[in-house]
């Protein structure tokens, strides 16, 4: 297991499948939409994120090793039951990490760039954060080392999860057989997650298993009558990669500088939170959408 990194091993697969998706879409053999500047931003974000990750990877791994020295149990890396258990616990941890990254602005600032493309294709999967390590969400995985999973085992499982989530960033696969859609995160479920339609906002946080969304009330199936529109609630007006990477951090800093007494709200409120409610949060957009739906419904009934 020494030196085993699923992400590194999968990199040639990432490259080959992006090339295939572009070429096959060009000849109409599958559904995928690419735009040159958008693709350039996504792929460059991915490349630089692998370097940026190095800045904090040492510290996060050292923290995991320290915690592991104070572990409650000793879990063998060679046992199959241990891998099944770490698969489930890591995937549930990912769900909560991902939910936190959408529902609190400080962590959204690190995650937002992954959602900033108006396209949904395999290159979008590689549009990864540069500031995730600094946001400190790696700490959410430390309890696994405290339980007794070796840090290398947790890292491998995190890599497996990342590789799994790559292939679901596509419009080329419509729906998979029902038993698979019921249990696993699929392209259909993840399209909903990347959609900016109010009905779809803040849904389907799953990594590998969609069961967590079903359990914790955040599941939303993709509906034939409502096509996904991708990107952010307020889409970026630029392809400047520095703005793509840091815009939410800059916006947050500007808000704090302007109204420092609301610092906790600016940092840990929902994205879009303001003291006077003048901006759009997901909850506000969903409520407005629901009100419009209800009004349309009653008009239809009256007619």
Partner 1 sequence: MTRRRGRGQVPRVNSAYLIQLAVSAVAVGLMIGLAAWATRGRGAPPLDEATARRWLADEFPGREVESLWIATDGLGALAKSGDRALILTRVGDGYAARQIDWSKALAARAQDGRVRIALADVTAPKAVLALGVWPPKELAA
CA atoms of 136 and 268, how far apart (whole Å): 14
Question: Exposure of 233 by Cβ count < 10 A (0-12 exposed, 13-18 middle, 19+ buried)?
Answer: middle
What does the longest C-alpha to C-alpha distance in the chain come to? 70
Among candidate residues 139, 123, 302, 133, the one with its CA nearest the CA of residue 230: 123
Q: Toward partner 1, which CB reaches closer, 215 or 253?
A: 253
Place of tokens 């359990």: 215
Task: By CB under 8 A, tell whether 231 contacts partner 1.
Answer: yes
Beta bridge partners of 195: 230
Nearest 5°: phi and psi at 185? -70, 130
Task: By CB under 8 A, tell whether 62 contacts partner 1.
Answer: yes
Q: Are 120 and 46 in contact (CB under 8 A)?
A: no
Q: Toward partner 1, which CB reaches closer, 176 or 232?
A: 232
Give the interface segment with partner 1, choosing from 9-17, 86-94, 102-110, 202-210 (CB under 8 A): 9-17
Task: By CB under 8 A, tell whether 14 contacts partner 1.
Answer: yes
* 136, 143, 221, 251: residue in contact with partner 1 (rule CB under 8 A): 251
Q: Dihedral of CA 168/106/211/201: which sign?
A: negative
* Shortest spacing between CB 18 and partner 1, in angstroms: 5
**N residues, the chain:** 303
Task: By CB under 8 A, tell whether 38 contacts partner 1.
Answer: yes
Task: By CB under 8 A, tell whether 220 contacts partner 1.
Answer: no
Task: By CB under 8 A, tell whether 287 contacts partner 1.
Answer: no
Q: Toward partner 1, which CB reaches closer, 164 or 239?
A: 239
Site residues (CB under 8 A) for partner 1?
1-5, 7-8, 11, 14-15, 18-19, 22-23, 25-26, 33-40, 43-44, 46-47, 50-51, 53-54, 57-58, 61-62, 65, 118, 123, 126, 150, 152, 155, 229, 231, 234-239, 243, 247, 250-251, 254, 288-289, 292
């Amino acid at each position: 297991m020494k030196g085993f990194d699923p992400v590194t091993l999968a990199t040639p697969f990432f490259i080959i499948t992006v090339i295939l998706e572009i070429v096959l879409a060009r000849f109409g053999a599958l559904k995928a939409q690419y735009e040159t500047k958008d693709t350039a931003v996504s792929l460059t974000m991915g490349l630089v994120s692998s370097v940026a990750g190095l800045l904090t990877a040492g510290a996060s791994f050292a923290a995991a090793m320290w915690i592991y020295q104070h572990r409650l149990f000793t879990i063998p890396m060679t046992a199959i039951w241990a891998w099944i258990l770490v698969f489930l616990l890591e995937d549930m941890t990912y769900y909560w990490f991902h939910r936190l990254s959408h529902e609190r602005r400080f962590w959204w600032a690190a995650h937002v760039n992954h959602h900033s493309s108006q396209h949904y294709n395999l290159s979008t999967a590689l549009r990864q954060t540069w500031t995730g390590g600094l946001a400190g969400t790696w700490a959410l995985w430390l309890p696994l080392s405290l339980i007794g999973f070796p840090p290398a085992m947790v890292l491998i499982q995190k890599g497996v999860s990342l590789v799994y989530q790559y292939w679901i960033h596509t419009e080329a696969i419509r729906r998979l057989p029902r038993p698979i859609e019921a249990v696993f995160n699929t392209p259909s479920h993840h399209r909903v997650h990347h959609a900016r339609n109010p009905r779809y906002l803040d849904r389907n946080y799953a990594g590998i298993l969609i069961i967590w969304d079903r359990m914790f009330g955040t599941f939303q199936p993709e509906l034939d009558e409502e096509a996904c529109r991708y990107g952010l609630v307020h889409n970026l007006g630029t392809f400047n990669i520095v703005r793509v990477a840091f815009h939410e951090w800059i916006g947050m800093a500007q808000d704090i500088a302007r109204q420092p007494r609301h610092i906790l709200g600016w940092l840990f409120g929902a994205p879009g939170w303001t003291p006077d409610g003048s901006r759009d949060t997901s909850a506000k957009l969903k409520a407005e959408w629901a009100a419009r739906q209800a009004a349309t419904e009653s008009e239809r009934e009256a007619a």
